[in-house]
Structure 1
Amino acid sequence: MDKEKTLITLNNLNKNTLMETLEIEFVDVGLDFVTAKMPVNSKVYQPYGILHGGATAALAETVGSCASALFVDTKTKIVKGIELSINHVKSVKEGYVFGIAKPIHKGRTTHLWEIKIVDEKDNLISICKLTNIVLDKK
């Protein structure tokens, strides 16, 4: 895997999407993980001036779905998230959060990912589980 090319490809997919709106950027990729970052600012606040859980969930689903896409032939297959569960354990007001997706199960038709959302000091902000289905393109 060419890490630099993969990151460029993933980041190019963000154009004109929610990911671009939330300023999500893929920053690292390996054989068993994908990492993206998102700034914590007023764009992603809830009314109390802290990171909105929905924005956190968007980061988690983004990184987990893109991780699945790296393991399938995207010319013939499409990946869709079918279940996301997320527990928020700490709040954050500024800086960046990072979503790190690691596989729990990579089957032929379903993938299960654990996504940890951490801050810049590696404090756990949220823990997520994402199930993706792998379908044939029509």
Structure 2
Amino acid sequence: MKKEEILKQLNSYNTNTLMETLEIEFVDVGEDYVTAKMPVNSKVHQPYGILHGGATAALAETVGSLASAYFLKSKDKIVKGIELSINHLKSKKEGVVYGTARPIHRGRTTHLWEIKIVDEEDNLISICKLTNIVLDKNK
């Protein structure tokens, strides 16, 4: 499957979700990573007019969870985030941020991802670790 088709499929999961509300869009996928982008505007601001840490966390969990599900390539399994840690290093008022998930560990039942959130100029905004659990879909 071509990259454009993969991204179209990945983005189809966003309909009627928080991802759609936050305008998160998957923009790249490779051998061991997935990247999504999110616009920074008043929808995702906190009261001081900067990117809300919760919106950043939503981007991180979205891209990391999707990466687990995508690389599993199993219709019999589901993925759920069970722990997210995030350090916010720089603020952002407007523009776009990108979250890229890369695996630290992909085991049979748990996955650990590092997600870097950067802006258009590749400035590091936040760094995250996400642990996902892999479960049987029928349970």
State the TM bucket, normalised to the shorter chain: over 0.9
Which residue in 1 is equivalent to 2:42? 42
The alpha-carbon deviation at position 74 of structure 1 amounts to: 3.7
Which residue in 2 is equivalent to 1:92? 92
Gaps of 5+ in 2: none
Instruction: State the percentage of identical aligned residues.
Output: 81
Instruction: Give a deviation string over 1:38-66, Cα, whole Å, max 9, x none.
Output: 00000000000000000000000000000
What is the CA–CA distance in structure 1 between the aligned matches of 2:68 and 2:113, rounded to whole Å? 9
The alpha-carbon deviation at position 2 of structure 1 amounts to: 2.8
Paired AA for residue 109 in structure 2: T
Aligned partner of residue 71 in structure 1, secondary structure: helix
What are the residue-to-residue correspondences of 1:1-138 with 2, within 5 Å? 2-138=2-138
What is the CA–CA distance in structure 1 between the aligned matches of 2:91 and 2:75, rounded to whole Å? 39
TM-score w.r.t. the length of structure 1 is: 0.98
Instruction: Give a deviation string over 1:49-98, Cα, whole Å, max 9, x none.
Output: 00000000000000000000012244100000000000000000000000
Paired AA for residue 133 in structure 1: I
What is the CA–CA distance in structure 2 between the aligned matches of 1:6 and 1:131, rounded to whole Å? 24
Aligned partner of residue 14 in structure 1, secondary structure: coil
| Count of residue pairs the alignment pairs up | 138
The alpha-carbon deviation at position 4 of structure 1 amounts to: 1.4
What is the CA–CA distance in structure 2 between the aligned matches of 1:62 and 1:6, rounded to whole Å? 16
